[in-house]
Structure formats: structure tokens, C-alpha cells
Amino acid sequence: MPTRFRVVLWFAVLLPLVSASARAFGPTRTITITASDEMKFSVTDIAARPGEVLRVRLLAIGTAPRAAMAHNFVLLKAGSNQIVFDEAAARSAGTDYIPPALTREIIASTSLIGNGESTEVVFTVPSARGNYPFLCTFPGHFAAGARGRLIVQ
Ligand SMILES: [Cu+2]
């Protein structure tokens, strides 16, 4: 396919589809969460509407070095067992504490960041109402309280 045609195809067909899905709920809402050396999230409850497009921005604001203190934001499907997921994550250092065998449980996740860094993920909120658990999967952080829930209502 000639490049020019491909560009025209993108603007004529694909771009309206992309913007239509984002337009359904207006501009994407941003939820900013900070994670501290106390291993907790600043936001533990996020209320959202079914199908809303959300951006979660995670900031790591502590001072401890990355090897000892890093954070991510991992949103799981409703009914996922967070304890099982967290235990598997602790054994998954090679994949930044995302357990490869359980990726089907994940709705959205950010990269793993050290203090002074930020990361974000944009995702579509599930259409089914209910509570969806999120956590930081760096070892020990879930147990220390780095967790919360997305409340879809
Ligand atoms: Cu953490």
C-alpha cells in the first residue's frame, strides 16, 4: 500500500474511531496517585463510570533507592485474588514483579518506577459495575497498604 494512501486511510477511517471512543465520556480524566516510602498510595478509592476512559498517573515521591523502593499500579479484574497475585508477583523480579502466568487477571498496569520518577496508564473502565482491586506489586508493598479499589458505579 502506498504510504500516502495509508496516511489518508488513517485519517479517514481510524482516527474518527479512536476519537469517538474517547469522546463518549469527554476528555480523559486523570487520577494522580503518589506512592511514598511508607509503601502506601495517596488515593485508595477511585470512583468511575462504566466505560469511562481514565488516565492513572503514578508519582514516586520518596527518597529510598530504587532497588529497595519501587512502585507500580496494577488494576485487577473483579474477583481476582490479590493475595495470590501479590505472592506470584514477589517471585517475578525478572518481569518487574508482574507474574507472567497471571497477566490475564490484569486490566491495566503501569511500569515499575523508582523515587523521583512518574509513569501513567490510560485504560477503559470495565462496563460491569463493581469493585476492582488495585495494588503495587513490589514485594511487601501490598501487605504494607499500597492498595485500593476502582469503584465502578
Ligand atoms: Cu510500591
pLDDT, block means (10 residues), the chain with 153 residues: 55 53 68 97 98 97 96 97 97 98 98 98 98 98 98 97
Instruction: Measure 62 CA to ligand 1 centroid, in angstroms.
Output: 10
Query: In terms of residue numbers, what domain contains 135?
Result: 27-152
Instruction: Measure 120 CA to ligand 1 centroid, in angstroms.
Output: 14
State pTM to two decimals.
0.83
Task: Output the domain CATH number for residue 140.
Answer: 2.60.40.420
Closest listed residue to residue 110, CA positions, set 96, 124, 125: 96
Instruction: Measure 44 CA to ligand 1 centroid, in angstroms.
Output: 13
Instruction: Measure 39 CA to ligand 1 centroid, in angstroms.
Output: 5
pLDDT of residue 16: 52
In a domain, residue 7? The reply is no
The domain total for the chain is 1
In a domain, residue 17? The reply is no
Instruction: Measure 74 CA to ligand 1 centroid, in angstroms.
Output: 10
pLDDT of residue 132: 98
**Dist CA 17 CA 24 (whole Å):** 11
Instruction: Measure 141 CA to ligand 1 centroid, in angstroms.
Output: 5
Instruction: Measure 38 CA to ligand 1 centroid, in angstroms.
Output: 9
**Dist CA 20 CA 89 (whole Å):** 36
**Dist CA 1 CA 9 (whole Å):** 10
In a domain, residue 9? The reply is no
In a domain, residue 108? The reply is yes
pLDDT of residue 27: 75
